[in-house]
């Protein structure tokens, strides 16, 4: 794994990243909610890129992992702008975006802004519009009333917070059901045993994308993480397809 470096944002905040150098396009991995670049899938993609001489950018969002910032202050808009700034500064030429869970929503926002630089997208249990379908009415009322909702975290000891600032910003960026003006090749991988993001979200996303080159792969008994050896192997084969490796 390449050493961790830091990108300095315009306001002086330091954002952690790792970068491998290589020919052709750059692969950019966008982690899920409260996740970071040290995750198994991100590391597997990075290792594949190094072994195949491809450029790859891993990063931690502000308030996550090794990056500076308070998580409670973050929004999708902020993370989108940070990712775009890092791509502009650190990546040359076309880009393939990989988005895991919430990173799959962020992938769409970043992809729309990249325009002609966007060469492909891979969603791993993508979760666009989770502000619409991911909470009960009572939970939405609690976010509005209390400013934050804490939920049990199946992946760690600390509860998962949803702050009103992030929730409201997410509502402003909901996109399923209207055309998403992205025309590049798109691959969506989703487990049918996913307890966090219903696999039908990937079908709705496929319908919403303008691109005619969209494939949805459903993995029977696959959970939300899709971290089994076979799942990671499928991801890397998909990366090789879109990255030309």
Identify the active-site residue in 190, 208, 224, 231: 224
Are 159 and 150 a contacting pair, CB within 8 Å?
Answer: yes
Residue pair 105/128 in contact by the 8 Å Cβ criterion: yes
Q: Catalytic one among 194, 202, 208, 231? A: 194
Instruction: Note if 101 is an active site residue.
Output: yes
Q: What span, in angstroms and rounded, lies between the C-alpha atoms of 57 and 198?
A: 28
Active site residue 194: yes
For residue 240, CA distances in Å to 43, 80, 135, 174, 225 come to: 15, 25, 36, 30, 20
Tell me how far CA of residue 209 lies from CA of 122, 156, 171, 186, 214, in angstroms: 13, 34, 19, 9, 8
Q: Which of 35, 67, 100, 101 is catalytic?
A: 101
The answer for residues whose C-beta is within 8 angstroms of residue 166's C-beta and 6 or more apart is: 74, 75, 76
Q: Which residues participate in catalysis according to the annotation?
A: 101, 194, 224
């Amino acid at each position: 794994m390449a050493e961790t470096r830091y990108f300095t944002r315009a306001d002086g905040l330091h954002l952690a990243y790792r970068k491998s150098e290589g020919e052709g396009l750059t692969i950019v991995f966008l982690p899920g909610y409260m996740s970071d670049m040290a995750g198994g899938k991100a590391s597997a993609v990075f290792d594949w890129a190094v072994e195949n001489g491809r450029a790859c950018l891993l990063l931690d969002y502000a308030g996550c992992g090794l990056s500076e910032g308070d998580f409670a202050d973050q929004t999708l808009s902020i993370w989108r702008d940070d990712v775009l700034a890092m791509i502009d500064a650190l990546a040359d030429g076309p880009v393939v975006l990989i988005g895991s869970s919430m990173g799959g929503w962020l992938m769409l926002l970043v992809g729309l802004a990249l325009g002609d630089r966007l060469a492909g997208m891979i969603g791993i249990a993508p979760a666009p519009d989770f502000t619409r379908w991911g909470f009960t009415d009572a939970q939405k009322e609690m976010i509005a009333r209390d400013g934050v909702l804490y939920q049990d975290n199946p992946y760690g000891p600390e509860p998962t917070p949803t702050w009103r600032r992030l929730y409201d910003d997410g509502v402003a960026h909901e996109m399923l059901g209207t055309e998403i003006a992205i025309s590049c090749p798109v691959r969506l991988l989703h487990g049918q045993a996913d307890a966090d993001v219903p696999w039908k979200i990937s079908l709705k996303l496929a319908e919403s994308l303008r691109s005619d080159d969209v494939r949805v792969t459903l993995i029977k008994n696959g959970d939300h993480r899709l971290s089994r050896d076979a799942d990671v192997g499928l991801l890397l084969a998909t990366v090789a397809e879109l990255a030309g490796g």
